């Protein structure tokens, strides 16, 4: 018996190849009558010593916070556009994202955290799957999520 899945987490880096992965996530959400949550993880602004010397510590922290907040807003807007583009490219799919989340930090950690917070039943993500020795040594975000996740992870192979 397949457990009931009420929410699906679709983790994306917004690469061109991730459009196919989104179509799989949308189709799966449609079939399972589940909510689709889109997630993108961005890293915080780094502390560049060459720029930081011109600001006090307080000014630097305020600047980093403002830049990070603006990056989150821009990414949320881009995720909405990305979802609409994917829906337009797949006319039979009338399903879109129910919620868009942008987090800052380590992608693996944030994907797993959001899946738990949102009580998702499945994580859907793409993997370039370089194959061979490179893939075995380097690993990927999808591989690390797959190893650590407590819920099923659907990894869709994508091409560059």
3-state secondary structure of 50: helix
Determine, yes or no, domain membership for 1: no
Determine, yes or no, domain membership for 69: yes
Q: How many domains does the chain have?
A: 1
d(CA 7, CA 25): 11
d(CA 132, CA 91): 36
Determine, yes or no, domain membership for 124: yes
**Confidence (pLDDT) at 84:** 77
Q: What's 11's domain CATH number?
A: 3.40.50.620
β-strand partners of 9 = 37, 123
Could you read off the pLDDT of 14-53 as tens digits, one per residue? 877 787 888 889 889 988 999 999 998 886 555 555 666 6
Determine, yes or no, domain membership for 133: yes
Residue range of the domain that includes 33 = 7-157
Determine, yes or no, domain membership for 55: yes
Determine, yes or no, domain membership for 119: yes
Which tokens is 46 given? 């780094």
Share of the chain above pLDDT 90, in %: 28
Determine, yes or no, domain membership for 2: no
> Residue ranges of the chain with pLDDT lower than 70?
1-2, 43-53, 90-95, 129-139, 160
The verdict on pTM exceeding 0.85 is no
């Amino acid at each position: 018996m397949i457990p009931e899945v009420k929410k699906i987490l679709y983790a994306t880096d917004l690469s061109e190849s991730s459009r196919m992965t989104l179509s799989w996530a949308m189709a799966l959400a449609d079939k399972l009558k589940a909510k689709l949550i889109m997630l993108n993880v961005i890293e915080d602004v780094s502390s560049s010593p060459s720029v930081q010397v011109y600001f006090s510590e307080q000014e630097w922290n305020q600047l980093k916070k403002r830049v990070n907040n603006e990056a989150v807003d821009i990414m949320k807007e881009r995720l909405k556009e990305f979802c609409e583009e994917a829906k337009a490219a797949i006319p039979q799919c009338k399903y879109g994202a129910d919620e868009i989340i942008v987090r800052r930090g380590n992608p693996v950690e944030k994907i797993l955290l959001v899946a738990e917070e949102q009580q998702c039943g499945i994580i859907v993500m793409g993997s370039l799957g370089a194959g061979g020795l490179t893939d075995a040594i380097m690993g990927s975000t999808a591989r690390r999520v797959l190893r650590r996740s407590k819920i099923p992870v659907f990894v869709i192979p994508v091409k560059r």
